[in-house]
């Protein structure tokens, strides 16, 4: 008997690095001030490993403002449009995160590194093999890479649903109205970061004008916060002491993350927007271990000393 099979489409990526191609470097300049950079992250996910109700799907805006070379302000605003807690409860279960701080450059420099420049990218469907194939053609050229070593710190505020199975009243029931609480961490973050900037443009006879222009930020922060745990349906009922005794916590939180964003202006790239991303993992006081991240767009790129 013939079986009906569902055909799966596999995504196959291939790349070709060209070593023998004539090119001209028309611009290689990472040494400018990223005066204002704003990113819109339209799909941001924050996952608490403690409870499924604290899996949050968010929209976020983040970026930096650097009026003086090496001294600037960074910020991030996140707000959920859906949490798993909302599926069983109501709108009390939203997630929110606000951060604003400053950074200062303590060192760094510019080095010449082998740099990949994508010349062409394409895709096609192979219906005989039932696969979709992605291809790219690139060259590796020497280009300048700027590295800035930063110290940073600022204000930190985050609120999220929390499920505390260990917390019971005298009758063995959860003291929360709907068996689900809300935790808010408020305090300071502080740490170190490494910012890298690549900004090279080439011209080739076969592929025309192409470029590699982006920045990455790798950071590690300590999170020194106070925690309030309460019933979102009765916010005047503070259950912080009982909840903290029940679940325990490390003395401070911490996080490790990486962000990427576009930095060159449209007059050089002919692109108004570009892809950005942020991924992060760490530990929050009393909320526990977490991972978060997502993709977005760089919607504003404004540089000085260009």
| Tens-digit pLDDT profile for residues 62-114 | 999 999 999 999 999 999 998 877 776 665 678 999 999 999 999 999 999 99
Closest CA to 52 of 87, 80, 78: 87
Q: How confident is the model at residue 236 (pLDDT cuts 50, 70, 90)?
A: confident
Q: What is the pLDDT of residues 31-68, one digit of tens each?
A: 888 999 999 998 899 999 887 878 899 999 999 999 99
Q: How confident is the model at residue 267 (pLDDT cuts 50, 70, 90)?
A: confident
Domain-embedded: residue 129: no
Domain-embedded: residue 12: no
Which one is predicted more confidently, 94 or 171? 94
Contact between residue 149 and residue 107 where contact means Cβ atoms under 8 Å apart? yes
* Average pLDDT taken over every residue of the chain: 85
Flag the least confident range among 21-30, 212-221, 227-236.
227-236
Question: What's the CA gap between 42 and 299, in Å, rounded?
Answer: 12
Burial class (CB in 10 A: 0-12, 13-18, 19+), 208: exposed
What is the per-residue pLDDT for 269? Answer: 87
pLDDT of 10 > 70? The answer is no
Domain-embedded: residue 98: yes
CATH of the domain at 56: 2.40.128
DSSP, collapsed to helix, strand or coil, labels residue 262 as coil
Question: What's the CA gap between 41 and 208, in Å, rounded?
Answer: 31
The stretch 214-228 carries a mean pLDDT of: 96
Domain-embedded: residue 5: no
Within 10 A of 183 (CB to CB), how many other CB atoms are there?
Answer: 26
Which one is predicted more confidently, 131 or 177? 131
Contact between residue 285 and residue 305 where contact means Cβ atoms under 8 Å apart? no
Question: What's the CA gap between 270 and 264, in Å, rounded?
Answer: 10
* Domain with 201 in it: 26-114+142-304
Q: How many domains does the chain have?
A: 1
Question: What's the CA gap between 69 and 292, in Å, rounded?
Answer: 30
Domain-embedded: residue 130: no
What is the per-residue pLDDT for 89? Answer: 65
Question: What's the CA gap between 230 and 228, in Å, rounded?
Answer: 7
Closest CA to 291 of 260, 252, 258: 258
The pTM for the full model equals 0.86
């Amino acid at each position: 008997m013939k079986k009906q099979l569902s055909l799966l489409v596999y995504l196959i990526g291939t790349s070709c690095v060209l070593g023998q191609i004539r090119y001209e470097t028309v611009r290689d300049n990472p040494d400018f001030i990223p005066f204002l950079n704003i990113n819109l992250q339209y799909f941001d996910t924050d996952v608490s490993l403690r409870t499924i109700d604290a899996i949050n799907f968010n929209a976020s805006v983040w970026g930096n403002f650097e009026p003086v070379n090496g001294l600037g302000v960074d910020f991030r605003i996140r707000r959920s449009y859906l949490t798993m807690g909302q599926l069983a409860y109501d709108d009390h279960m939203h997630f929110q995160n606000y951060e604003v701080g400053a950074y200062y450059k303590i060192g760094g420099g510019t080095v010449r590194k082998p740099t990949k420049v994508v010349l062409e990218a394409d895709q096609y469907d192979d219906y005989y093999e039932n696969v979709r194939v992605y291809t790219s053609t690139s060259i590796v050229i020497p280009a300048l890479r700027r590295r800035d070593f930063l110290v940073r710190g600022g204000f930190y505020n985050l609120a999220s649903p929390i499920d505390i199975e260990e917390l019971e009243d005298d009758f063995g029931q959860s003291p929360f109205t709907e068996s689900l609480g809300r935790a808010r961490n408020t305090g300071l973050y502080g740490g170190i970061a490494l910012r890298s900037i690549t900004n090279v443009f080439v011209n080739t006879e076969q592929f025309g004008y192409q470029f590699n222009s982006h920045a990455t930020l790798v950071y590690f922060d300590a999170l020194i916060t106070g925690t309030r745990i309460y019933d979102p349906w009765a916010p005047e009922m503070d259950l912080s002491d009982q909840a903290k005794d029940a679940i325990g916590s490390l003395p401070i939180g911490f996080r490790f993350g990486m962000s990427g964003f576009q930095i060159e202006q449209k007059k050089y790239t002919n692109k108004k927007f570009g892809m950005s991303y942020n991924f992060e993992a760490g530990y929050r006081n009393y909320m526990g271990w977490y991972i978060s991240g997502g993709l977005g767009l760089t919607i504003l790129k404004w540089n000085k000393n260009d």
